[in-house]
Structure 1
Amino acid sequence: MRNRTLLNGFMFISTMLMINNSFAETVSLEYKGFYDRLKQVNKQNFPLVELAFSVPMTPDCMIKSGSITTEKEQYPLTYTKQQRIFIPYDAQLKSDRALVNIHVIGDASKCAIAMQVRAKEAKQSYTQTELLALTADMNRLLDGLQGFPMKYFRNPINGLTFEFDKMQNDNEKVKLVIDNVESMVSETYPLTLEKINQLQQISFSQKPDIVSPLVTK
């Protein structure tokens, strides 16, 4: 397992669960690893943010199908066209030593599963109060994932990143309005905490697909 921090959306504060099976098209991971992370989130109330798992959309990592299996049962694995996978929070699955199986088209050794903190529901416009509440919730969740005493060595997030769905964005640009001042942004827009503290309202011509933490060194 390795930790990696990037400056734009998809892999923010992401824990990569590397797949070591060099040639197999089916990857099986212990459910316990997912459960332990979800448990940290479920121990507290986070009304604005959630923990999301996904498989990067690369030629070697296109999901064909998936399942969650125990010795006696098999359940379908739900995932989206963006390859976000939905893992249930179920103590029985942990007790039964369940496996999360992902069947990919390509070279499974080049695949990974990313864990990301993101907003539960992206909005097309935000007030400053809403943005600050979102960053506060993200910081609290990240502190819980770090655990004691590592949370005291983690820098607070530096703002938010807004990502837009390329398939909805034919012109590859999105109109941004901050306090009646218009500009154009591309697929990813980083909004620093400094800018958040200076604005009153922000809106986009297209609702963001993902809102996640902005982290800089």
Structure 2
Amino acid sequence: MKNRILPLLLLSSSFGCFAEEFVASYEGFYDRLKVVKKGDFEFARVNFYLVEGESKQPCTIAEGNIVTEQASMSLHYTEKAQLMLPIDEKLDKDKAVVVVKPETATYCEIKIQIESAHFENQHLTKQKLYQLHTEFETLLSDLSGVFVGKLLSFMLPEQKGVTVEFANNVALSGEGVSCELNRCRFHVSDSWENDNTRFNVLSDLISVKPWIEK
């Protein structure tokens, strides 16, 4: 499988404003969510988190809304400050804005994160990691084509595989696998495509993200 050159900007980019409320156009969220919806992805997703500008820790949210000239609807979010935004063409056409009021932070910004959904310990096989790596690669490439442009591809970093975070420290070994504390990196190769070798880990899987070579 040929590695593609992909934009770090799309892996973790941000925008924000110095104000009590965070305000951003819904259009930017919608455009990215639409790319995911059009793709054939079992696991790969693009998610949005509200984080503090300096520490990059989750902002504690007091309330949030999606607002148009005609109406306002509640914005759903998680304890980790992930914004659960709908894919709604009407909101896009109505020029909706996302308004979030943090509890204490004076400056919050959006972190755009490519990561997995519904990927669990039972999926920790070489074949499934190959599938997820390929989905990440395709999604990042699709997003880069929309928001960066293929003419800049020679300047962008390379995806090497996937990074898996566990609830506790783990110790895995083997070709293409390296672990430090509770994080493991898997250097995915073409030979993994039909390989059902399982990685047995007792600690719960927390997240899986692309491994980008900076």
Please state which band the TM-score falls in when normalised by the shorter chain: 0.7 to 0.9
- Whole-angstrom CA distance in 1 between matches of 2:151 and 2:160: 18
Match of 2:213 in 1: 216
1:185 offset after TM fit, Å? 5.2
Verify: 1:149 aligned to 2:150, yes or no. Answer: yes
Matching residue's letter, 1:51:
V
1:133 offset after TM fit, Å? 0.7
1:156 offset after TM fit, Å? 4.2
1:26 offset after TM fit, Å? 1.1
Verify: 1:47 aligned to 2:42, yes or no. Answer: yes
- Contact kept? 2:171, 2:179, Cα under 8 Å: yes
Unaligned runs of 5+ in 1: 6-10
1:43 offset after TM fit, Å? 2.3
- Whole-angstrom CA distance in 1 between matches of 2:10 and 2:150: 21
- Whole-angstrom CA distance in 2 between matches of 1:75 and 1:149: 37
- Whole-angstrom CA distance in 1 between matches of 2:58 and 2:173: 40
CA shift in 2, pair 1:75/1:100, >3 Å = same
Could you give the per-residue CA deviations for residues 17-36 of structure 1, whole angstroms, max 9, x where no partner exists?
2x222xx3211110011111
Match of 1:105 in 2: 103
1:13 offset after TM fit, Å? 1.3
SS at 1:204 equivalent: coil
Could you give the per-residue CA deviations for residues 164-203 of structure 1, whole angstroms, max 9, x where no partner exists?
3xxxx4xxx3344568xxx985333222236x95992213
CA shift in 2, pair 1:150/1:163, >3 Å = farther
**C-alpha RMSD over aligned residues:** 2.9
The percentage of counterpart residues that share the same residue type is 25
CA shift in 2, pair 1:14/1:116, >3 Å = same
Q: For residues 59-78 of structure 1, what are the structure 2 equivalents within 5 Å? A: 61-78=59-76
- Contact kept? 2:169, 2:183, Cα under 8 Å: no
- Contact kept? 1:60, 1:107, Cα under 8 Å: no
Q: TM-score scaled to structure 2, two decimals?
A: 0.78
What is the aligned length? 194
Q: Out of 161, 164, 180, which is 1:162 matched to?
A: 164
1:140 offset after TM fit, Å? 0.4
- Contact kept? 2:66, 2:75, Cα under 8 Å: yes
1:51 offset after TM fit, Å? 0.8
- Whole-angstrom CA distance in 1 between matches of 2:179 and 2:211: 19
- Contact kept? 2:25, 2:98, Cα under 8 Å: yes
Matching residue's letter, 2:103:
I
Could you give the per-residue CA deviations for residues 53-97 of structure 1, whole angstroms, max 9, x where no partner exists?
112365783212211111121111111111111111111001111
CA shift in 2, pair 1:188/1:12, >3 Å = farther
Which stretches of structure 1, 4 residues or more, deviate above 4 A after TM superposition?
57-60, 176-179, 196-199
